[in-house]
Amino acid sequence: MASLPPKHPVQQGTADAAGGADAHHHPPKGLLRWVLTTNHKEIGTLYLLFSLLMFLIGGVFALVIRAELFQPGLQLVQPEFFNQMTTMHGLIMVFGAVMPAFVGLANWMVPLQIGAPDMALPRLNNFSFWLLPVAFTLLLSTLFMPGGAPNFGWTFYAPLSTTYAPPSTTFFILSLHIAGISSILGAINIIATILNLRAPGMRMMDMTLFVWTWLITAFLLIAVMPVLAGVVTMMLMDINFGTSFFNAGGGGDPVMFQHLFWFFGHPEVYIMILPAFGIVSVIIPTFARKPLFGYASMVYATASIAILSFMVWAHHMFVVGLPLVAELFFMYSTMLIAVPTGVKVFNWVATLFRGSISYEPAMLFAIAFVILFTIGGFSGLMLAISPADFQYHDTYFVVAHFHYVLVPGAIFSIMAAVYYWLPKWTGHYPHLRLSQWHFWLSVIGVNLTFFPMHFSGLAGMPRRIPDYSLQFADFNMVSSIGAFMFGLSQLLFVVIVFMCARGGEKAPAKTWDGAVDLEWTVPSPAPLHTFETPPQYRPAEADH
Amino acid sequence: MWNTVKSVLAAFFGVQRESRRRQDFTSGKPISFILVGILMGILFVVVLIFIAMQAAK
Amino acid sequence: MRKWHVWMTAGTLLLSGELSLNGKLQAAGWNMPVGVTDISREVHSLHMTIFWICVVIGVVVFGAMFYSLFRYRRSKGAQAAKFHEHTTVEVIWTAIPLLILIGMAVPATATLKKMYDASEADLDVMITGQQWRWQYSYLGEDVNFISSLATPREQISGDQERGENYLLEVDQPLVLPVGKKVRLLMTSDDVIHSWWVPELAVKQDAIPGFVNENWVRINEPGIYRGQCAELCGKDHGFMPVVVQAMEEEEFDAWLAERKSAASEEAAGADREWKLDELMERGEQVYGSICAACHQPNGAGLPPTFPALAGNQALLDDREHHLDTVLNGVAGTPMPGFRTTLSPVELAAVITYERNAWGNDTGDVVQPSEIAEQLAE
């Protein structure tokens, strides 16, 4: 593990204008160095490795699900354990894999892209990372508790998650609290960094889209994580202290749980996709060698999506029996989200138009993101039509929809980011041939897995069932084959990343010829300390 | 004031001219944008509720 | 002129393609069913409209994208242009989706309003979700029964060949008359369930403490199958919904028959029952109501679902046993069955639990005893 992160030429003092390293720093050696580090690059690496580990664990849970669903009937696991797997898969992927991966990328790249020496609050940064292993060890330990792990889905609707929940639910609540604190602290740090530590001469409007989307995401995080904390605390009270927030028998309201959860949950969805928009908006111009089309609109559309995300939560609840007016309100507001999202897609396409396009692995993933995310957007538009949602709701059509926006959406953007910035982190290009194999296997695997789910959902298969009637058998078999293909090809990703950390073709400071942002002015690998003397920011040529 | 409203509207719509955005970011005060943004957000919700109520009749 | 012609032809081809494609997808179970109610037809047509809108937008956007990806390859010497803004174009491509969406919202609103109008129903049925079965009460008709999964366990485990309606078959379907407006009132005794029949385009959550309203007017007689759509615990995948729609006269006859059976059942509470009679009836009730949690062999699934076999707390205290079954245990998944089951069924199942799996207490609980307790 200690050998993996970039071998920073820390004490060598690379005499570079941007990366003046100081020689008086002697960080602790070995494992303790990682526990105590306050360096944004090391913490970024920790976040990314943690997220990779969680991605693999969550992936194994997904494969348990897909293996059971390979054929009708119960073969491998019992329904109780199946429900634990769906729950843990969702929780681990959302809170353990996607969110920490984005925070890790922000840790590494936000200071480098704005010319800051580090995050604004380095010790807080260390603390927010180390909360995560605690939270997820606690969460995973519930699998070994009597009564098993939480089994009520990642949306944990009450009263299934309160009165009818296994005893381990209290531990699940505690772990969500810890993970939530970590997210809030991380968000505060990112906002403080972006607002205060930009290089002299860099105005807000000079920031890259990645920094912009993360700034907006951080505000979303601060706005909604306390709501999550509130709702799980109410669950805690219901379970352990005899209150009846969500218990109809005691005068409580199970529907209120869903309102609270989705008031958190819908912005949460955008927390998992806005940074992805930012990454893709940085990568596509680089490899199209052309400035991002409609930079201003991209920023505004991001803000617009963020604002709308607070007004659409009840579209997750179209079948709970909302009053007609509410149903219409949430249908209209949800349909409106398609507009700024459409603007983004059009702008990416317009950036490609009349560019000079090359197909490095990062670009392949970014292009796949645009196409497959748009397919997820289309099914999202269909789901917004409330009368039709009565048929789609809680079926595999929904599963297909959100996996299209999360896997070839969020996850592909993270992979694109890794391929884009790995040379900056390690000083080496990732192995080209293997990266291409990884890309094509992932793209084929992902579509094999999730495209048939549209059909099984429309044909009537509810989600979260361990066994299904015979007419869904073919779709499920294809999905399972695709899932194993996708899952196994991620091992290739792990190999590529570790190989790249150990060696490979040397990358220059400006790794990609079309890259313009500040991080490409520091050497590759980036020394442990960069921009200790703030760079004078000169707006890129594109800005004139 | 009217310029601020127009900029916030542009943000809601998601399209803005580079030159106007540049102007907003150099001459505008953040607090006025935030206040107008919140007010127009509320207005937007009210209008949408009104439309939904009319449609539900 | 020529161009228009080409477009028209392409449009016609696309449209006919849609029709035949749609037909094929339907037959193979790849698409949303058209269903057997006016509402389900409207929902299906909304679904297809928005689908084709997405397809058209997708063709345009992806077309432009793939054209760019192919045409402007660097390997073919493409030189990058410098433009990065065009306000008019941006306004246009923001406004067009907005107009399409408004066009889509109008018919969706109209359909939604129809779906919400449950007034002037000819028949009211109360649907109560329970872990993991449905209870149907015909309000004002004294007909009330439980509908649970009928697929044998041997088929689930694979020891027996799976039937055509595997997991979509129940012991007693909900019977509804054709052509009548039936109001469906939904609630739940425990967690949230969701009652869904795709062919009827009805999906509604059954929520404890709430009564939701929906309605259906079925056009064609037949058997329509669906499932619980909201995760409701262990056997969420094993609580199907089956609706049998029949002509009105047939339905009236069925209802009359159910009514007389119900009064017979009520009369049974007055007489003295023998142990083996109760055991036989009790085994039946236990199998359809209790076995999902407490298991067919009474071993339960501790710690959530305690064992009944050798459960001294119950066996030593008869009153406690009666109280548990009648009123449930607060704060646990155990519901009370005082309103769900008849006195005969309650007496039978308690007697069965006290004598099966080696419990052998020899206790007999008489229906009359239960009826007395219920009357209190």
pLDDT in tens, C194-240: 999 999 999 999 999 999 999 999 999 999 999 999 999 999 999 99
Nearest to B56 by CA among A311, A326, A333, A387: A326
Sole residue written with tokens 């769900």: C340
Q: What is the pLDDT of residue A522?
A: 93
* Paired residues of C185 in beta bridges: C126, C213
* Minimum-distance CB partner of C87 among B14, B15, B56: B15
Sole residue written with tokens 């404890």: C208
Q: Which of A8, A40, A177, A316 is catalytic?
A: A316
Q: Is A270 a catalytic residue?
A: yes
Q: What is the pLDDT of residue C8?
A: 52
Q: Is A154 a catalytic residue?
A: yes
**What is the share, in percent, of chain C residues with pLDDT greater than 70?**
92
Minimal-distance CA residue of chain A relative to B51: A329
Q: What is the pLDDT of residue A27?
A: 67
Q: Is A68 a catalytic residue?
A: no
* Minimum-distance CB partner of B55 among A203, A328, A343: A328
C87 close to B (CB below 8 A):
yes
* Minimum-distance CB partner of A332 among B12, B22, B48: B48
Which residues 97-116 of C have a C-beta within 8 angstroms of B?
109, 113
A328 vs B18: CB contact, 8 Å cut-off? Answer: no
Q: Is A130 a catalytic residue?
A: no
Residues of chain A under the 50 pLDDT cut: 1-23, 541-544
For chain B, what is the total number of helices (H) and then of strands (E)?
3, 0
| Neighbour subunits, C (≥3 Cβ pairs < 8 A) | A, B
B13 vs C109: CB contact, 8 Å cut-off? Answer: no
Neighbours of B4 (CB within 10 A): 17
C87 vs B55: CB contact, 8 Å cut-off? Answer: no
B17 vs C85: CB contact, 8 Å cut-off? Answer: yes
Cα-Cα-Cα-Cα dihedral of A537, A540, A543, B2, to 10°? -20
CB pairs under 8 A between B and C: 12
The structural domains of chain C, ordered by start, are 18-74+82-115 (1.10.287.90), 123-264 (2.60.40.420), 269-375 (1.10.760.10)
Phi, psi angle pair for C177, to nearest 5°: -80, 145
* Angle, vertex CA A360, rays to CA A356 and CA A361, nearest 5: 145
Top pLDDT among A507 and C288 is at: A507
Amino acid at A410: A
- ipTM, 2 decimals? 0.88
The structural domains of chain A, ordered by start, are 36-521 (1.20.210.10)
Contacts of C94 in chain B (CB under 8 A): 13-15
- Residue A430 CA to residue A421 CA, distance in Å, equals 10
- Residue A204 CA to residue A188 CA, distance in Å, equals 17
Q: How far is A34 from chain C (nearest CA, A)?
A: 41
User: DSSP label at A472?
Assistant: G
Residues 6+ positions from A376 with CB-CB distance below 8 Å: A401, A402, A403, A404, A405, A408, A409
* Minimum-distance CB partner of A205 among B15, B25, B48: B25
* Minimum-distance CB partner of C87 among B14, B17, B56: B17
Between the alpha carbon of residue B17 and those of residues A295, A298, A307, A408, C90, the distances in Å are: 9, 11, 20, 31, 10
A240 close to C (CB below 8 A):
no
Residues 6+ positions from A505 with CB-CB distance below 8 Å: A428, A429
Lowest mean pLDDT among A228-242, A523-537, B29-43, C125-139: B29-43
Give me the sheet containing C133-138, strands edge to edge.
C143-147, C133-138, C123-130, C182-188, C212-216
- Residue A287 CA to residue A367 CA, distance in Å, equals 11
Q: What is the pLDDT of residue A1?
A: 38
CB pairs under 8 A between A and B: 60
pLDDT (average), residues B34-45: 87
Q: What is the pLDDT of residue A153?
A: 93
Q: Is the pLDDT assigned to residue C18 strictly greater than 70?
A: no
Q: How far is B32 from chain A (nearest CA, A)?
A: 16
Q: Is A543 a catalytic residue?
A: no
Q: Are A164 and C191 in contact (CB under 8 A)?
A: yes
- Residue C10 CA to residue A316 CA, distance in Å, equals 38
Q: Which of A41, A66, A68, A118 is catalytic?
A: A118
Q: Which of A268, A327, A389, A519 is catalytic?
A: A268
Minimal-distance CA residue of chain A relative to C202: A390
Minimal-distance CA residue of chain A relative to C208: A248
Lowest mean pLDDT among A43-57, C15-29, C126-140, C237-251: C15-29
- Residue C77 CA to residue C73 CA, distance in Å, equals 7
Summarize pLDDT for C146-205 with one digit per residue, the tens: 899 989 888 988 888 888 899 999 989 999 999 999 999 999 988 999 999 999 999 999
